[in-house]
Amino acid sequence: MQTVKEFVDLENRKARIFNQNEIKITDVPTIVAIIESNLSPENLACDGERPVSEQNKLEIYYNRCLNELKQAGYKWNLNYDTGKYELA
């Protein structure tokens, strides 16, 4: 899960800059929620400011993270009542 670890490290560096809580590598629902949010077209494209080649690289990176979590045996579902991801 090297890519997931890199992702969490990057998110935690950003969290420290803005004095926010860091996430743990074991907090899979939060990791999935952040990745799914980052995969939204608006976030990938930065409202049209990001080049398509960079969007494609990011999409591959985020999907690789999700695939690593799946290969590690994690399964999750979106709880539509709460709007949060939960482990299945």
Residue-range domain boundaries for the chain: 2-87
**pTM for this prediction:** 0.91
**Confidence class for position 3, pLDDT limits 50, 70, 90:** very high
Percentage of the chain modeled with pLDDT above 90? 94
CA distance 8 to 36: 14
Average pLDDT over residues 9-36: 97
Average pLDDT over residues 14-30: 96
Eight-class DSSP state of 50: S
Average pLDDT, the chain: 95
Average pLDDT over residues 12-16: 97
- Placement of tokens 């929620």 in the chain: 33
Task: List Cβ neighbours of 28 (8 Å cut-off, separation of 6 or more).
Answer: 69, 74, 76, 85, 87
pLDDT value for 17: 97
CA distance 28 to 42: 23
Phi, then psi, of 10 in degrees rounded to 5: -65, -45
